[in-house]
Structure 1
């Protein structure tokens, strides 16, 4: 009898989840913690079941292109949302910029390095020695694309490009520095603030690279998708994003396809 009751309870529990309208959000790795809090706050007001998938924006966009069941996409740059718009998998009228970020140079907390001049080649060589710079893939991962632009404009790209440890997303780059496997890393400020195992050495001037924007796009006409998108643009959501160090005062900044 107990087995029957247990099975019935499991069936009812499963039915309860299935009865809810499921919304799947694909979000950039740098948004992992913030989106977790956003979903928790959203669930207190709505009865939808939210599925979160995190990864590099390039990887997520290609998964969506291949038919992954995403309802909402939150990218760490505009390029990969534009890619989906061009493929007619996203509507430009349903894109909004919700946050900005800052690019920083980090080191392991145990490293003795205290100062760093970003435009001095000898500084990079001295600190790196036989080590590497942890960074997202410079051809596809947003943080890596921004890093390459910044290093190029600083005039040091040709000197450091052979010393990069390129990763599939920003959190993997952060982990390399946390573990001391890379002497330096280039990540977002919001990622560096999450751990006491790394320290920020320098911030890159925003003029050195493209604007770091997080575009949010609703990928279908489901009411539940729209409700989640609307919530992520609310004052409550902005407060959560601010808590993690994201900039939400977007002003007149617009999505540029």
Structure 2
């Protein structure tokens, strides 16, 4: 008589594969869109996703110290470069997944104006300007426009861009510098100014498999780079990588 464990094994082999749990470390700005894409992936497979969102700098440091993850999606290439230099990712799996835009946001009904006027008074929410990608991009843009020295004393820094957005939504600050996709995710917020693309480094989201990843992680990364997920991301305002 076959024991239950052997029956279960036979059923799993007959079905073609084990269901797997995939741990994904992803930049906080991806949350709304990636949650949707994850639901589509889980519905189409037997796999389960564990999504861990935070600032890219926090996630990269956790992975560098050995945190168990299968896939990492960063909001800029620098933190992915660091992990690659330390042998923490599978280099051949790395690809540029998405792009984004940088904007100034405020409460709906606020009059849009020049960045000089918008940021001339009141507190401004930004992600950490020396480590979190959205903050790094924002500081670079303000330096490029000659505004950083004037606004720096009034900047309220947060550990990720979604927290900065929440400060604006709750009315705790006058304005915020976030990604365009963040503004789309918050119904009470309006985009008041688009930073010129040449005022800051290009906003690129690289994705890669973490060394020692589970077998289903490959399937998920390919899904993210496929047509269905790309449509989901563009619906939320993300841009696709440049061809070539």
TM-score, normalised by the number of residues in structure 2: 0.89
Q: Could you tell me which residue of structure 2 aligns to residue 133 of structure 1?
A: 124
Q: Quickly say closer, same or farther: Cα 1:115–1:39, change in 2 above 3 A.
A: closer
Alignment of 1:116-195 (within 5 A): 116-118=113-115, 120=116, 123-125=118-120, 128=121, 131-195=122-186
Alignment of 1:210-229 (within 5 A): 210-220=201-211, 222-229=214-221
Q: Could you tell me which residue of structure 1 aligns to residue 23 of structure 2?
A: 24
In the aligned structure 1, how far is the partner of 2:24 from the partner of 2:118?
Answer: 41
Flag structure 1 segments of 5+ consecutive residues without an equivalent: 1-11, 253-257
- Preserved CA contact (<8 Å) 1:108 1:179: no
1:232 counterpart = 2:227: no
Q: Could you tell me which residue of structure 1 aligns to residue 4 of structure 2?
A: none
- 1:65 Cα shift? 1.1
- Preserved CA contact (<8 Å) 1:99 1:250: no
- 1:57 Cα shift? 0.4
Task: Say which SS state the counterpart of residue 20 (structure 1) adopts.
Answer: coil
1:114 counterpart = 2:111: yes
In the aligned structure 1, how far is the partner of 2:222 from the partner of 2:153?
Answer: 44
- Preserved CA contact (<8 Å) 2:112 2:118: no
- 1:223 Cα shift? 2.3
Deviations 1:189-243 (A, max 9, x none): 0010112211111000110000100101011353201000000000011001011
In the aligned structure 2, how far is the partner of 1:35 from the partner of 1:115?
Answer: 30
Q: Could you tell me which residue of structure 2 aligns to residue 54 of structure 1?
A: 53
Q: Could you tell me which residue of structure 2 aligns to residue 81 of structure 1?
A: 80
Flag structure 2 segments of 5+ consecutive residues without an equivalent: 1-7, 13-17
Task: Say which SS state the counterpart of residue 88 (structure 1) adopts.
Answer: coil
In the aligned structure 2, how far is the partner of 1:74 from the partner of 1:155?
Answer: 31
- Preserved CA contact (<8 Å) 1:77 1:212: yes
1:200 counterpart = 2:191: yes
In the aligned structure 1, how far is the partner of 2:145 from the partner of 2:123?
Answer: 18
Length, aligned pairs only = 228
- 1:115 Cα shift? 2.6
Task: Say which SS state the counterpart of residue 44 (structure 1) adopts.
Answer: helix
Task: Say which SS state the counterpart of residue 53 (structure 1) adopts.
Answer: strand
Q: Could you tell me which residue of structure 1 aligns to residue 104 of structure 2?
A: 105
Deviations 1:37-66 (A, max 9, x none): 111111122111211100000001111111
